[in-house]
Structure 1
């Protein structure tokens, strides 16, 4: 995507106009052209001096499977979660809701979204007292009392996802990781791990394609960072990390008869886990055995919870990804993927997943991830046991009947962010300032936008990062007939529900729209778009005029 950010235009503060009830209309073809349904209002004409977004038909890239997610499964870290009814509560309650999510966000031209199994407890970690907590040992889990790889795969099938598994890098060894690959993918009847799987009643291989070699090994909180199980220096030493990653990758790949993708942790999202020279050495000396690298994205501005400071974090993510891509390209000639295998719109524990601040930053982050070609992005997390505090869920307090703003944001964005990215220009957006928690100050445009195309047509996703209303001119560089459907998501930053406004207008090539404060606006461009309308539309729920809270 190409962007130009000149001097800011004058911002016109206005109230959104032309709200109409959502009318589901089928495309009608009369004499070779789409007719305009009766009563569809006209969009406002373009206004001089306002920011302009232009969508052209040229394809500039491909959007990958960024609507994947992860399970929050802390059962193996100790006794704190022993009272949770994992099988009859958490898993049964979430399966139907999560299956619905995966169906909503799936694209027929991409793999099924991935459901990641593994996070900090997988490697083991250093607890608050400084003690080492051992990680997840998959063979022990087969004996019961913990979630096993068989339990996980049964859940993957139930929710209709693609599997994605993290192996224990911090408190296990490469042979153990290779055994897990053989257990999951092997077909050789003479392999003991294949025999074990079949003995347990799973005759056919699981064929897990995506594997991660550990979790956040660049972090001092992770087992393996200071030292490895054999007592040798850990991942804090780049050379030691290189040797161990290559050992894991070589042994794991050798045990899978089907192709697999191997990713290894590289650095935090702000790119300061290792000195630049060390980072380049890790890439140069591991790329030959890997398919890609992972980072995790948990944004945190310097000045706490002010929404104005949070608003620029997705822009900073995009800029960091550009730098990381360039660093990888300069360090190896092999094309390497980047996966963001844990991320949230804001950092834990007070914000993650619970409010519209997180929901809006989620939409904004999807734009950055799509633009920068992220291969897999796993929102953390899709679900957590009912009653567990914090925001590790698409549902408030783990209750599938109470969708969090993040669920609405993900589902609606997925329906308007197609696999083909179209040339997008953003000109004249005002800028604001923010600062990351490591003290990095930066300017960012208060608008972000991305045009795309899916099987059902072309779309525009547009985010207003400002707490003030904005006006934007839209230019469409390809024919648009019939109607333009506009869905707006918005609320106050701390709201735990999100307002949804659905409107349909007569098609136009140039027009202006008024963007509510701190909102996401999703445009389906052209006729025949019944299937692309927002899922929350047409529910009979009246949405308040100011998009702050649903009413009625």
Structure 2
């Protein structure tokens, strides 16, 4: 293999697994402008009769958003859901230390998900809440009978919502979370909550907040594992400072591009060692390259809410974000046997894929990654072998790290046999040719290449430059050869479709 050339061998008839489309999910929290001024803005000329932003709904439909996790996040650990249905009054949100308008609750979430075409995934309050509160919430959403079902009907919603996906708590393992628990305390609460929730509706699927730690999971799963369906893990790999400064530096970021996969493998091994591999799946239900800017969150002093506006600076989100996001999704595809759901955090505003403003939206680079993967990859993961050179970068801690030039996953349409190859060039400056062979190119009529890129690693989209990072499309014709080569531009995400 020549220097700076990659080789991808494909075995299209060797299916290694099927993806779950839920890995392309999203997350929304009552934080800053995600709900109010984000998806829900009744005073906007862009809102529909329910107060939902029509442009946001259209954008989420385009990327076929399959599931939306809500309402938190740290917010949920003090969320009184019963105050968020029927007659409402604002209240003080102890998580983010602001007044919660409380005009967006369970009924609005379900209505919004229906407009988008997504399944609701409700995270319950395991902080200040109790098992009865959680099971009452299931009753409100899913039953025909009982006090809380009657309240739903009184609120104008006669038929049950049939919410399938539920989570017991958020990050209750962490000292920052209201209602933080030890492993033993958490195991007991999970057991009692799961019992009550599944006695209300045994068809629901339950996730629990977890960490990639053997002892923690052993304690919880030995007590409650048989009542669960998912273990929930979270990950952010680049933190914003309390001064509202987001880390830049492309090399620092690509040095971490495969850390999410390492976390998946760790949890997979933990599940296997405890006898739950194949019984429980991973829901990576909060993830993003960038953590949110929430100054003084860990302190008890006054919160500086003005600094949260740093989340809205679109130049923070560039091709580094796109490359990291594509590598994350490739990792989920590679581990489709255990990763069944993932929720990009968040969908709208903060560090999300969509930015809203008074006159429209901006689609950040990460949005276009979802466009490529949801619309142009397929359900079957087929065997492939990638040989790629590596390059060295210096990570933020000053350590030299080897990073592959190229990351790739091959998918196939089970009905038509069409092939979709997702290729990520992680190098910031160099293009890399990739020779693709083993599938019989002459059997296909040609290929379509869709490449997401910008002029530099720092390229970003904003109100006045909405397409600085965008997808370009080109066609590739085949001769009688059994293989072919394409060139992957620097800092790019490409999906190649063979039809």
8 A contact 1:59–1:422 mirrored in 2: yes
2:31 aligned with 1:74, yes or no? yes
8 A contact 1:101–1:411 mirrored in 2: no
Aligned pair partner of 2:132 in 175, 189, 192:
175
2:88 aligned with 1:123, yes or no? no
Cα offset, 1:512, TM superposition = 1.9
CA RMSD of aligned residues (A): 3.0
Gap change, CA 1:292 and 1:441, over 3 Å in 2 = farther
How many correspondences in the alignment?
Answer: 439
Within 5 A, what are the aligned runs for 1:387-466? 390-395=350-355, 400-433=360-393, 435=395, 443-454=402-413, 455=415, 457-466=418-427
8 A contact 1:312–1:465 mirrored in 2: no
2:326 aligned with 1:363, yes or no? yes
The higher-RCO structure (CA 8 Å, 6+ apart) is 1
8 A contact 2:238–2:289 mirrored in 1: no
1:500 equivalent in structure 2 = 471
2:178 aligned with 1:223, yes or no? yes
Deviations 1:29-57 (A, max 9, x none): xxxxxxxxxxxxxxxxxxxxx32012211
In terms of Rg, which structure is larger? 1
Cα offset, 1:400, TM superposition = 3.9
SS of the residue corresponding to residue 401 of structure 1 reads strand
C-alpha distance in 2 between matches for 1:431 and 1:94: 46
Cα offset, 1:207, TM superposition = 0.1
2:148 equivalent in structure 1 = 193
| TM-score after normalising by structure 2 | 0.80
SS of the residue corresponding to residue 500 of structure 1 reads strand
| TM-score after normalising by structure 1 | 0.73
1:328 equivalent in structure 2 = 271
2:58 equivalent in structure 1 = 100
SS of the residue corresponding to residue 477 of structure 1 reads coil
2:300 equivalent in structure 1 = none
Gap change, CA 1:496 and 1:333, over 3 Å in 2 = closer
2:98 equivalent in structure 1 = none
1:209 equivalent in structure 2 = 164
C-alpha distance in 2 between matches for 1:62 and 1:301: 33
Cα offset, 1:412, TM superposition = 1.5
Deviations 1:365-417 (A, max 9, x none): 11011111221111112224xxxxx4234226586432211211111122222
Cα offset, 1:490, TM superposition = 1.0
1:158 equivalent in structure 2 = 115
8 A contact 2:411–2:421 mirrored in 1: yes
SS of the residue corresponding to residue 60 of structure 1 reads strand
SS of the residue corresponding to residue 486 of structure 2 reads strand
2:335 aligned with 1:377, yes or no? no
SS of the residue corresponding to residue 362 of structure 2 reads coil
8 A contact 2:39–2:56 mirrored in 1: no
Gap change, CA 1:97 and 1:378, over 3 Å in 2 = farther
2:94 equivalent in structure 1 = none
2:95 equivalent in structure 1 = none
Gap change, CA 1:500 and 1:333, over 3 Å in 2 = closer
2:189 equivalent in structure 1 = 244
1:10 equivalent in structure 2 = 3
Cα offset, 1:286, TM superposition = 2.5
2:191 aligned with 1:255, yes or no? no
8 A contact 2:345–2:351 mirrored in 1: no
8 A contact 1:281–1:331 mirrored in 2: no
SS of the residue corresponding to residue 381 of structure 2 reads strand
Gap change, CA 1:84 and 1:328, over 3 Å in 2 = closer
SS of the residue corresponding to residue 319 of structure 1 reads helix
Gaps of 5+ in 2: 90-101, 241-245, 294-309, 462-468
Gaps of 5+ in 1: 1-7, 12-49, 107-111, 125-134, 226-234, 385-389, 527-552
SS of the residue corresponding to residue 258 of structure 2 reads helix
8 A contact 1:283–1:328 mirrored in 2: no
Cα offset, 1:288, TM superposition = 1.1
2:287 aligned with 1:343, yes or no? yes
Aligned pair partner of 2:236 in 278, 298, 305:
298
Gap change, CA 1:429 and 1:280, over 3 Å in 2 = farther
C-alpha distance in 2 between matches for 1:87 and 1:496: 29
2:490 aligned with 1:514, yes or no? no
